[in-house]
Amino acid sequence: MIVLASDHAGFKLKEKIKKYLQKLNLEFKDLGATDTNSVDYPIYAKKMALYMKDRAETKGILICGTGIGMSIAINRFYYIRGALCKDKKTAILCRQHNDANVLILAGRNKGTMLHYRKIVKAFLNTKFLGDRHQRRVDMLIDLAKEQN
Task: List residues binding ligand RB5 (CB under 6 A).
Answer: 7, 9, 41, 64-66, 68-69
Active site residue 115: no
| Cβ-based nearer residue to ligand RB5, 9 or 94 | 9
At closest approach, how far in Å is the CB of 21 from ligand RB5? 21
Cα(137)–Cα(65) distance, rounded to whole angstroms?
27
How many whole angstroms separate alpha carbon 129 and alpha carbon 132?
8
* Min CB(144)–ligand RB5 separation in Å: 21
65 with 45: CB under 8 angstroms? no
Q: Residue 138 and residue 29: Cα distance in Å, rounded?
A: 28
* Selected catalytic residue, list 8, 97, 115, 133: 97
Quote the least distance from Cβ 102 to ligand RB5, whole Å: 15
d(CA 20, CA 47): 22
Active site residues: 97
